[in-house]
Chain A
Amino acid sequence: MRLLRDALIWFAAIAAASALAFWLGGYATDVYRKMLIWVALALSYNFLFGIAGQVAFSHFAFAGVGAYAIVIFAHQLGLPFGLAFILALALSAALAFVVALPSTRLEGFYLALATLAFSQLVLVVISEGGDLTGGTGGIANYRLPHVFDVTISGPWYTVVLVLLVASTLWMLRRLDRSAFGRACRAIRDNAVAAAAMGIDVRRIKVLAFTLTSTLAGLAGIAYAYIDNVINPPVFGLENIFLLLFMIIVGGAGSHIGAIIGAVFLYLAPFVLEPIVGHGFMVVFGVLVVLTILFQPSGLAGLVNRWPARRAT
């Protein structure tokens, strides 16, 4: 019964989010699609930062690796799309693993600095990659190819993005409720105590980093076909700050919080910009400081005020 109800809720949510794609049009579609990418990235970043407690600044770099890899493999090198997709995902995962091995040994905020240096290096490489990466101008003028004679375009591509968000959420929720998720939370709260309870801290940390960064790569692959343009600035530091702020304001460690935070901070500038111009970033900064000071569980914490069904 419970299973049936859950399945119905998922189905209704996916159907509603997909229906929106057909109802919106033009500029609104573009906004909606990018919002879905932000939500997908926020969900995986929330697992890394909020649940596993790793303050890493490399999430957008891995999205960039995924996006550039798919475009280079499928369009610059002309590989079949299926193969290019698998290679792009594998490259994100392999790179994430290589970065995770030494980085997860670093304590606290030093992880942030190492991953920040890594993501800046990725930017330097893609900006200096010559014809292969298109340099600072990036790559444009490519199209999502046919897969099994099917062309996905228009609102149907938005549906693909909805499915990406839904499957990311579904997977991360499953993981969160498994022994792996509990181990992640235990390490976040007290790594020494977690190790004493027999948790292999290094292994869990490396796994959490690799897995969430690979999901970022997947979101990057999806991003590459929204405007059919990729360029370096998108994957820079500005956006990783914004992603971090989304998680903090939404409520670190909560999936629903990640979604609320991403939607809220992504859409807020559209409302704020006419009023305060570019000053909306000041508003975000103030919001982050106030959240940390007065509402550490974020917006999700406000929602969850009424009887908690599940202890976190």
Chain B
Amino acid sequence: MSDLLELVVSATASGSIYALVALAYLLILRPTSIINFAVGEWAATGAFVGVAAQTTLAWPALDGPYWLAVIAVLVCLGALGWLVEALTVRPLIARGANITSPILALLGVLVIFRESLTMLFGADPLPSPPPFGFKRVAFGLFAGVPQQFLIITVTFVLFAAVWLFFERTVWGRAFEAVALNRRAAALMGINLRRVTTFAFVSGAMVAGLAGLLMSPLTSAHYMMGLPLAIQGFTALVIGGVGRVEGALLGGLVLAFVEQLGARYLPIPSGLTLGFPFVLLILFLFLRPSGLMPPREAR
């Protein structure tokens, strides 16, 4: 029983990370229809920026506290997201290029980010200091390392905030309007260019945060991006691309299937690596709208 409860904590924590990456996809996909595969690398970048800000890696004088790492990640990733949007996506949209053009260009960006990280930080994994140590803590029946509880708390708070943003603010409504109908939204006076920029900046920030949060558990490694990109996307497809809550639900479902399967199913552990792909294929073919179908326009 305690085994299962521990698994619940660890699956919820991994699910939260998948959900954050799925949210990063969603923030960009909804208003622009662009699937940005580079979000995985942005998460890896967030992990490395966090390590650099907290350890004496980059600037010996600077050995910053955790809050500084959080700010560094948000500022750096926001700037990088803006830069990528301005340099690659904006000119293509302005030219009226086919939607696959920016998607393919972002695959090029993915490779640029990953190889730059390798060159800057080396190919070995870098340990990332956990802000609250490694000492096990227990909340009632649930026990785990503090970082897991931090991940879960931050993710749920962030999802609540993003949900409120979309439901309650004018900006959020503008986002939704663009997602439902770009042309009509533009005619209603919504600045499409600004919405696209905002989508990439916020998407990069959320992805970076996901990388920063998970790095104490996995270390910062240049190969962490692509698996995250695939898991995040799988979470998004499971939950449904239309709703913010879908990303959270999809991330949790994916993580629970992965971890429960690996723990209790009598198959070789290597084969359990295939679970996310089977789920992705099943949902794409059988239920492309995901568990939470998009709402109709109101």
* A interface residues (Cβ-Cβ under 8 A, vs B): 55, 102, 105-106, 108-110, 113-114, 116-118, 120-121, 124-125, 127-128, 237, 241, 244-245, 248, 277-279, 281-282, 284-289, 292-293, 296
Counting CB contacts under 8 A, is B259 at the interface?
no
Identity of the chain A residue whose Cβ is nearest the Cβ of B234 in the assembled complex:
A117
Q: Which 4 A-B pairs have the closest CB atoms?
A: A288-B108, A285-B112, A285-B111, A117-B277
State the CA gap A118–B99 with chains docked (Å).
23
Nearest CB of B to A206, in Å: 15
Counting CB contacts under 8 A, is B187 at the interface?
no
In the complex, are the beta carbons of A293 and B112 less than 8 A apart?
no
A289-B88, A293-B88 known; A282-B288 Cβ under 8 A: no
What are 18 A-B contacts defined by CB distance under 8 Å? A55-B103, A106-B284, A108-B100, A109-B35, A113-B284, A121-B277, A245-B108, A278-B118, A278-B119, A279-B119, A281-B114, A282-B111, A284-B111, A285-B108, A288-B108, A289-B108, A292-B104, A293-B92
Interface string of B75-119 (1 = CB under 8 A from A): 000000000000110011000010111011101111110111011
By the criterion of a CB under 8 Å from any partner CB, how many residues of chain B are at the interface? 41
Identity of the chain B residue whose Cβ is nearest the Cβ of A280 in the assembled complex:
B115
Residues of B within 8 A of A285 (CB): 108-112, 115
Max chain A C-beta neighbours (<10 A), residue from B104, B234, B276: B104
In the complex, are the beta carbons of A292 and B101 less than 8 A apart?
yes
Picked from B88, B103, B119, B270, the residue with its CB within 8 Å of the CB of A124 is: B270
A120-B274, A128-B268, A128-B271 known; A241-B285 Cβ under 8 A: no
Residues of A within 8 A of B116 (CB): 282
In the complex, are the beta carbons of B281 and A114 less than 8 A apart?
yes
Picked from B35, B105, B115, B234, the residue with its CB within 8 Å of the CB of A289 is: B105
State the CA gap A241–B278 with chains docked (Å).
22
State the CA gap A284–B101 with chains docked (Å).
16
A106-B284, A293-B91 known; A113-B233 Cβ under 8 A: yes
Nearest CB of B to A258, in Å: 16
State the CA gap A116–B87 with chains docked (Å).
27
Identity of the chain A residue whose Cβ is nearest the Cβ of B282 in the assembled complex:
A117
In the complex, are the beta carbons of A110 and B288 less than 8 A apart?
yes
Counting CB contacts under 8 A, is B226 at the interface?
yes
Counting CB contacts under 8 A, is B58 at the interface?
no
Q: Which of B108-142 contact A (CB under 8 A)?
A: 108-112, 114-116, 118-119
Picked from A124, A278, A284, A296, the residue with its CB within 8 Å of the CB of B271 is: A124
State the CA gap A93–B99 with chains docked (Å).
30
In the complex, are the beta carbons of B277 and A293 less than 8 A apart?
no
In the complex, are the beta carbons of A241 and B107 less than 8 A apart?
yes
Counting CB contacts under 8 A, is B280 at the interface?
yes
Beyond known contacts A117-B278, A285-B108: 9 more, CB 8 A cutoff? A55-B103, A121-B277, A124-B270, A128-B270, A244-B104, A278-B119, A282-B111, A284-B108, A293-B91
In the complex, are the beta carbons of B100 and A55 less than 8 A apart?
yes
In the complex, are the beta carbons of A120 and B230 less than 8 A apart?
yes
In the complex, are the beta carbons of A281 and B92 less than 8 A apart?
no
* B interface residues (Cβ-Cβ under 8 A, vs A): 35, 87-88, 91-92, 97, 99-101, 103-105, 107-112, 114-116, 118-119, 226, 230, 233-234, 237, 268, 270-271, 273-274, 276-278, 280-281, 284-285, 288
Identity of the chain B residue whose Cβ is nearest the Cβ of A294 in the assembled complex:
B91
In the complex, are the beta carbons of B280 and A114 less than 8 A apart?
yes
Residues of B within 8 A of A125 (CB): 274
Nearest CB of A to B294, in Å: 15
A124-B271, A241-B111 known; A117-B281 Cβ under 8 A: yes
Residues of A within 8 A of B268 (CB): 128
State the CA gap A14–B199 with chains docked (Å).
52
In the complex, are the beta carbons of A293 and B107 less than 8 A apart?
no
In the complex, are the beta carbons of A286 and B277 less than 8 A apart?
no
Max chain B C-beta neighbours (<10 A), residue from A113, A124, A237, A277: A113
Residues of A within 8 A of B278 (CB): 117, 121
State the CA gap A260–B119 with chains docked (Å).
28
A106-B284, A113-B237, A124-B270 known; A289-B119 Cβ under 8 A: no
Picked from B104, B114, B115, the residue with its CB within 8 Å of the CB of A248 is: B104
Residues of B within 8 A of A241 (CB): 107, 111
In the complex, are the beta carbons of A296 and B107 less than 8 A apart?
no
State the CA gap A62–B233 with chains docked (Å).
23
In the complex, are the beta carbons of A292 and B233 less than 8 A apart?
no
Identity of the chain A residue whose Cβ is nearest the Cβ of B123 in the assembled complex:
A278
Nearest CB of B to A6, in Å: 34
Residues of A within 8 A of B118 (CB): 278
In the complex, are the beta carbons of A237 and B226 less than 8 A apart?
yes
In the complex, are the beta carbons of B226 and A110 less than 8 A apart?
no
Residues of B within 8 A of A248 (CB): 104
State the CA gap A248–B101 with chains docked (Å).
10
A124-B270, A282-B116, A282-B119 known; A117-B280 Cβ under 8 A: yes
Residues of B within 8 A of A121 (CB): 274, 277-278, 281
Residues of A within 8 A of B284 (CB): 106, 110, 113-114, 117
State the CA gap A124–B276 with chains docked (Å).
11
State the CA gap A89–B233 with chains docked (Å).
33
State the CA gap A128–B275 with chains docked (Å).
14
State the CA gap A135–B234 with chains docked (Å).
26
Nearest CB of A to B258, in Å: 13
In the complex, are the beta carbons of B115 and A278 less than 8 A apart?
yes
